[in-house]
Amino acid sequence: MKIKSLAAAIALSGATFVALPSMAAEDTIKVGVLHSLSGTMAISETTLKDTVLMMVEEQNKKGGLLGKKLEAVVVDPASNWPLFAEKARELLTKDKVDVIFGCWTSVSRKSVLPVIEELNGLMFYPVQYEGEESSKNVFYTGAAPNQQAIPAVNYLKEELGVERWVLAGTDYVYPRTTNKILEAYLKDMGVAEEDIMINYTPFGHSDWQSIVSDIAKFGSAGKKTAVVSTINGDANVPFYKELGNQGISSEDIPVVAFSVGEEELSGLDTGPLVGHLAAWNYFQSVETEENEAFITQWKAFTNNPDRVTNDPMEATYIGFNMWANAVTEAGTTDVDAVEQAMIGQETPNLTGGIAVMNKNHHLSKPVLIGEIQDDGQFETVWETEGVVPGDAWSDFLPGSKDLIADWTDPVKCGNYNTKTKTCSGQNY
């Protein structure tokens, strides 16, 4: 009987009519998208929102999942860290999403973490970060420090002969923790404390004249100097402009960045930046069939031949495909079932290898170092021979070196102490 006829029959009988849920709501799998579309991080995160929408569209063309179409639910936490938690709660309790793809900064992820653990949600986090974390409810598809920061420092030291180090970052948890790891690592290699300069600036910082001047002065001591940059968001634009204004070239003081990719460079005059570096796990310029197909799909989806791709997009692509495979394997979107099905998932990356999801909820990934070209792309100047498994806990911090994360039996713990044989955090 048609819904309209059924409603009429109920009305004639004198019974109270209760509206039925929409068929669309019943027959869709909801995908939450939690990325800043406004504020200081919109320069980086808007692209990731578009990437998830593209993946949802592509999956629906394949027939969806479990016989259901996917439905994207997009919210804007507006680069407001407490708002990330509110929006995550809204996605899980009001919109009833089955999975969330979201966050860029670690402070936004840290804001969301207690909410998704409380409500047993599932989130894929696609950006490089500081490590020192492994949650049952999060899969980390971006780089851990041993997949980006440590290899970058090794490259600068071994290939460029760098002896003095400027650790410049935005003032929040990712740069501070990463630089804490790097400072310990550099000192372990024999670098003197006076040869390490550390500087932090707030989000959206725009006046770089005095800081860049201090960097130039620090680099004039007769030792090869480099900047290791964990500067995030739109503050990168005036930072690189000021380097050019003060005539600091990559030959004088090279900068290796962990948060500057093709998207950020698309808004800059890259002329003065040629030769500066970035460490990622993917570059648009990588020549593989998988990458060519991805770029073609992206330009068609955005209807813009000038749109670029970048590393967090590849991490989103990998995470989405792994999630779709895990849902299919589990036969359900139930978080606990999908979480276990995710471990050991393998899917092609875009650089010609295979991404593997490990027991600690981190990927095995290649590491690439690229040099900025005048067209805003990167030329790969160094890469690992194969993939590197991501470490949840750093080997260079005293409180972390004895910890592992393993979400399989019998450990099932995110911070298991291998010496005391105890789990001191979330487990199940």
pLDDT tens for each residue of 16-32: 333 333 334 468 999 99
187: amino acid identity, one letter: K
Q: DSSP letters of 133-173? A: ---TTEEE-S--GGGTHHHHHHHHHHHH---EEEEEEESSH
| pLDDT digit string, tens, across residues 259-311 | 999 988 887 788 878 999 999 999 999 999 999 999 999 999 999 999 999 99
The reported pLDDT for the residue numbered 372 is 95
- pLDDT bracket for residue 7 (50, 70, 90): very low
| pLDDT digit string, tens, across residues 137-146 | 999 999 999 9
Average pLDDT of every residue of the chain: 92
The reported pLDDT for the residue numbered 233 is 86
Residues of the chain with CATH 3.40.50.2300: 23-143, 146-280
- pLDDT bracket for residue 135 (50, 70, 90): very high
Rounded percentage of the chain residues whose pLDDT exceeds 70: 93
Short-list 371, 396, 395, CA closest to 383? 371
Give the architecture-level CATH label for domain 146-280: 3-Layer(aba) Sandwich (3.40)
Place of tokens 């990731």: 48
The reported pLDDT for the residue numbered 25 is 47
- pLDDT bracket for residue 426 (50, 70, 90): low
In DSSP terms, 229 is beta-bridged to 168, 257
> In sequence order, what are the residues at sequence separation of 6 or more whose Cβ sits closer than 8 angstroms to the Cβ of residue 202?
170, 171
Q: Assess whether pLDDT exceeds 50 at residue 181.
A: yes
What pTM did the predictor assign? 0.90
- Residue 205 phi, psi dihedral angles, 5° rounding: -60, 135
What tokens were used for 213?
């001047």
| pLDDT digit string, tens, across residues 215-265 | 999 999 999 999 999 999 889 889 998 998 999 999 999 999 999 999 888
CATH number of 23-143: 3.40.50.2300
Short-list 186, 174, 179, CA closest to 140? 174
CA distance 64 to 70: 6
> In sequence order, what are the residues at sequence separation of 6 or more whose Cβ sits closer than 8 angstroms to the Cβ of residue 12?
none
Q: Assess whether pLDDT exceeds 50 at residue 375.
A: yes
Q: Assess whether pLDDT exceeds 90 at residue 183.
A: yes
